[in-house]
Copies of this chain bind each other. A is one copy, B any other.
Amino acid sequence: MGQHLIFQLLLFLLLLMTVCVSAMYPRTSRLGMVSKSMKSALNAELSSDFVTYYYNQTLDHFNYRPESYTSFQQRYLINSAYWGGANSSSPIFVYTGDEGRITGAAAFAGFMVDLASQFKGLLLYIEHRYYGDSVPFRSIDIAFNNTSTLGYFSSTQALADYAELITNLKKNLSAENCPVIAIGGSYGGMLASWFRLKYPHVVIGALASSAPILYFDDITPHNGYDSIVTKDFRETSETCYTTIKQSWSEIDEVAAQPNGLANLSQIFRTCEPLNSSQQLKLYLESTYDASAQYDNPPAHYVSDICNAIDGAPEGTSILGRVAEGVNASAGPPCHRIYDFQPSNMNGWLWQTCTEIVIPYGRGENDTMFQASPFDLNDYTKTCQGIFGASVTPRPHWITTEFGGQDIKSVLGNFASNIIFSNGLRDPYSIGGVLQDISESVVAVYTLKGAHCLDLRTPMPSDPDWLVAQRDKEIKIVASWLAEYNAKRPTS
């Protein structure tokens, strides 16, 4: 398949898969697979305890050009229902906003409400610049119109936003003595951990859930993500894995025949005729990827697919089985398969085309997918095609700015108070920190969880291992607060 299509696939992954709440299932019309908590997060049902505010934020913290002084309205939410107040130095839990509307993150990360109720905490959720209602230049159309206005969109600026906003808010609340703890998931988890690393004077600790901070440069093997997807399927069923693995060349073979695409359209029950076999393969791959990444209880997406593949009547062809797999859940009568159209209005695409360069790729036979190596030249060309010739990804910037290589020695000697939480079924966990680095920079992971599971609202039906993970996190947070309070001069 052509380089451009390979790259489309990568962008597709990048676009959809680094958030705690996937917007993918609705997009592919498979709403039946969306769990209740996901739906509520997507619809952002927030109680009246969550109050919206706007902060007059500095556009450019690091330069002093005339435009640097421009300000924009940054949205943040506050829930003070549980707060013990400034006088008691009660903590502040801040969600370091990720690549979506902050209302979605607030609705999703219900664990924060539990933390607030346990520790009498104030809840603060800050929206990331250029997302949701926090877009500079007063309108998305202007902000995304060209790279002169879009160019202030970076993770370092976002972190400085958080530092400035938190510092000001604490002053306004006379809460200078209240300890702040950063919390985030996925990209928001990276930001939470980076925030603790870069602004230890602003936050005393960070809970970074499913944060693949090591998936940059060559720290993590390029095929890490796909190898975990593969493992998830293979551990669920060896035959399911084999069937999927064989299906790609089968698709190629059928597609090469006369009426091949029409046959594929029929086998896979697509709503519209397929334009290319690539289109189908992208759809299947993204389905497997999302199934693995969001395979959190009470859902069991991977099993659903594999049960359908393995359970098809004897004699069913490989493609017939795979089609049963993607039909597994209660979906609509047909699959709506779109070509992914990269848009210069997409914020996450901008971030991946500038600094969040995660080198996804895979070789021959090292996953259940066909080979698709990472190619920086192609990546760059595609980004320039979308955003303009000046936009050149900086693949080494994240590790230069935040580190990553030799993480154990660097964080071990320097950092403190960070929880890196993961579920090992999450393909992104491969780029996470999975080893304790010191007494207070710790890895808390589960074998059975997937992406951002611990951040969700605790439910009575939660399995014991999830309850245990959250309990451990609560105990660690309690120890940070106790240490902070013990060291504070009593005044």
Residues of A within 8 A of B (CB): 60-66, 68-69, 147-148, 150-154, 156-157, 160, 163-164, 167, 176, 198-202, 204, 350, 354-355, 388, 390-392, 396-397, 399-406, 409-410, 412-417, 483, 487-488
Contacts and interface: CB of A to CB of B under 8 A. Distances in A.
A167 B354 contact: no
B65 A148 contact: yes
A433 B483 CA distance: 23
Contacts of A397: 61
Contacts of A200: 403, 410, 413-415
B154 A63 contact: yes
B201 A410 contact: yes
B64 A63 contact: no
A157 B63 contact: yes
Nearest to A412: B487
A154 B64 contact: yes
A69 B390 contact: yes
16 contacts: A61-B62, A61-B401, A62-B63, A62-B157, A63-B63, A65-B150, A66-B147, A66-B148, A160-B401, A163-B400, A167-B400, A199-B403, A201-B404, A201-B405, A202-B400, A414-B415
Contacts of A402: 201
Contacts of A202: 400, 403
B204 A413 contact: yes
Contacts of A401: 61, 160, 163
A388 B405 CA distance: 43
A164 B400 CA distance: 6
A167 B396 contact: yes
A68 B152 CA distance: 10
Given A160-B401, A401-B163, A65 B416 contact: no
Contact of A152 (B63, B404, B406, B414): B63
Contacts of A153: 64
Contacts of A413: 200, 204, 416-417, 483, 487
A120 B16 CA distance: 51
Contacts of A60: 62-63
B416 A64 contact: no
Contacts of A412: 487
5 A-B pairs with the lowest CB-CB distances in the bound complex, closest first: A65-B151, A201-B403, A200-B414, A66-B390, A62-B62
Nearest to A390: B66
Given A63-B154, A413-B487, 12 more contacts: A62-B62, A62-B154, A62-B156, A62-B157, A64-B147, A66-B151, A69-B390, A201-B399, A201-B402, A201-B403, A201-B410, A414-B415
Contacts of A154: 62-64
A337 to B, nearest CB: 33
Contact of A68 (B61, B151, B163, B199): B151
A388 B401 CA distance: 32
A424 B355 CA distance: 45
Contact of A64 (B150, B399, B405, B487): B150
A147 B62 CA distance: 14
Contacts of A198: 198
A409 B64 contact: no
Contacts of A148: 65-66
A422 B449 CA distance: 52
Contacts of A414: 200, 414-416
Nearest to A387: B64
Nearest to A160: B401
Contacts of A391: 64
Contacts of A350: 64
A150 B68 CA distance: 12
Contacts of A415: 200, 414
A294 to B, nearest CB: 30
A185 to B, nearest CB: 23
Contacts of A69: 390, 392
Contacts of A201: 399, 402-406, 410
Nearest to A151: B65
Contact of A65 (B61, B62, B152, B167): B152
A50 B391 CA distance: 37
Contacts of A400: 160, 163-164, 167, 202
Nearest to A149: B65
A176 B217 CA distance: 15
A354 B153 CA distance: 22
A84 to B, nearest CB: 20
A399 B170 CA distance: 14
